[in-house]
Structure 1
């Protein structure tokens, strides 16, 4: 097993209401009155009340090249990654030079050397720290990154790992594009970062580190869904591919994966007390709840996150995880999950031990 010992989000300083963002972006996306009216309706129904953005609203009108946007992604993204990582390590009581493995993920910008290389130097990680930058997983990368960090720690039970996500989604909004996908994205996605500190079970025992254990994971790649979510990358940067078929994919496939993972550990949906769902949007959250037969209250943390910050891609579910760590409930079972381009799903089964010790046998959950 592995144990999550801390998580910390980091948000850009510029925070706006949904109405302010809508007014600023409308003339940048369309001059067609009918499409403008559609944009206003879509934004109003996105379930978003406020969002943090990496730039002041008036600067988006002057951002006219992918080169400029990507330079900002690197500069601001590295700052946010540093803040999230520093906060998470401080909360865990772990020094930066104790980190053995860093997994960095983003789908809203590119850099070589990657942001994690700059981050490692800034925060004081060792020169021999192992790094794995990831691009292309999109919204699923928060859950997938946590699962892959867990995989590493199963084989390195005395190690410390950090998962870092940076997503500056506002930099990808395409000017002069009033397609449905761009309209939806411009009303839904926000900017943010998050870091999660995870340790091997031997280190957790040796140092008495508390937090939920990762007791199981599941990955699924759904066939013939390649055109549902993704990017069309060209001269203007990242043009979003986002179809209305995501809820249908969830309805066809998702419940089977959840039941399979839970069944491996002798559990059912009724045994899960904490649901940490990626806040992909109202229709996505509704589809998750319908597929699993959950009450409206079960996904309330995700609805709150969506309203407060929008969909921050891979960082979003990690922010929800950070919130859950503030008020742990002993002997609690949680399921963290997300979807992303592919379409792919990642599920992470969590358990808060009754006594703080990383022992799954006494809980009825098989490691």
Structure 2
């Protein structure tokens, strides 16, 4: 089994209280003061206390074009990606020159060459490193990225693979757009990055580094949900598609999918000690918990992450994973389920087990 030996996060240095963000951007998004009450109620109900932003708050009031915001994305995303990846490699005790495969994911900006290519000289990756940039997976990409690293390492048991996720969601908020999707998104999403370092099973057996091993993965794409969640590119950038139907998709599918996945490994919900859920928003986390009948507190770290930094799209579930590893060390053999949803609507689930034999 491949093993996660490093996971690290990075956030822009600028951090603002949710109430401050709301007061500043409300007139920009909803010019009519009579309609701003809806935005304020949505922001207040998001369960987000603070968010990190890539620009000073007042700069969001300026009339940015898509080319300008995307140019900023390339510059800032590369910086955050470098910070997260260097920290994750250091944590793993692995040199950049040892990396064989890199996956980069984002849905909040585009670049050719992709950000992973820009990292090669900056971080010291080999020029023959295999690269796979992924775009379009959105919030599910953190979980999907771990699964794709596992796929690669299954065929390269002595290999080193890394995942880098960067999302600058604040750059996608639309001016003068009082659609419900934009109102919700403007109070929910933040900016940040994360990186994961994994090694193949033969290399894992030779190095003295505990970590979560990948027991299994599952992908799901739910039909007739295209218009539930996603982005529509336009002249002013990426306009978010976000409906209340996401929770309905979870209600209809997620419980059966997760229990079926666990059953394939001879397990039930009660056998899993830790749950790493993408903090998509209050209703999403509630739907996850209800679908699995989880005990109170099972998703506490996801709720804490949502409050502290908001929803970081693909990077969010990796932030929760980093918090899980850092705040409460696992015992040998302990099981963890990591999962997220994204556009499609799609789902990715990864079953993890802490290395070592149970005592």
TM more than 0.5: yes
The aligned counterpart of 2:29 is 29
Q: CA deviation at 1:206?
A: 1.1
Aligned pairs (5 A) from 1:108-147 = 108-147=108-147
Separation in 2 of the partners of 1:323 and 1:138? 21
The aligned counterpart of 1:185 is 185
Aligned to 1:119, the other structure's residue is in SS state helix
Separation in 2 of the partners of 1:296 and 1:306? 17
Stretches of 4+ aligned residues off by more than 4 angstroms: none
Aligned to 1:188, the other structure's residue is in SS state coil
Q: CA deviation at 1:63?
A: 4.2
Aligned to 1:296, the other structure's residue is in SS state coil
How large is the Cα RMSD of the aligned pairs?
A: 1.0
Q: CA deviation at 1:50?
A: 0.4
Q: Deviations over 1:24-76 (max 9, x none)?
A: 11011012234200000000000100000000000001142000000000000
Aligned to 1:89, the other structure's residue is in SS state helix
Give 5+ residue unaligned stretches, structure 1: 356-361
The aligned counterpart of 2:349 is 347
Q: Deviations over 1:60-100 (max 9, x none)?
A: 01142000000000000000000000000000000000000
Q: CA deviation at 1:328?
A: 2.3
TM-score, structure 1 length as denominator? 0.96
Separation in 2 of the partners of 1:139 and 1:37? 28
Aligned to 2:297, the other structure's residue is in SS state helix
The aligned counterpart of 2:77 is 77
Q: Is the 8 A contact 1:181 1:242 kept in 2?
A: yes
Separation in 2 of the partners of 1:128 and 1:156? 15
Q: Is the 8 A contact 1:6 1:325 kept in 2?
A: no
Q: Is the 8 A contact 2:27 2:33 kept in 1?
A: no
Separation in 2 of the partners of 1:106 and 1:129? 19
TM-score, structure 2 length as denominator? 0.98
Separation in 2 of the partners of 1:218 and 1:260? 10
Aligned pairs (5 A) from 1:148-167 = 148-167=148-167
Separation in 1 of the partners of 2:339 and 2:34? 37
Q: Say if 1:237 and 1:94 are closer, same or farther in 2 by CA, change over 3 A.
A: same
Separation in 2 of the partners of 1:201 and 1:35? 56
Moved more, 164-173 or 346-355: 346-355
1:60 pairs with 2:64: no
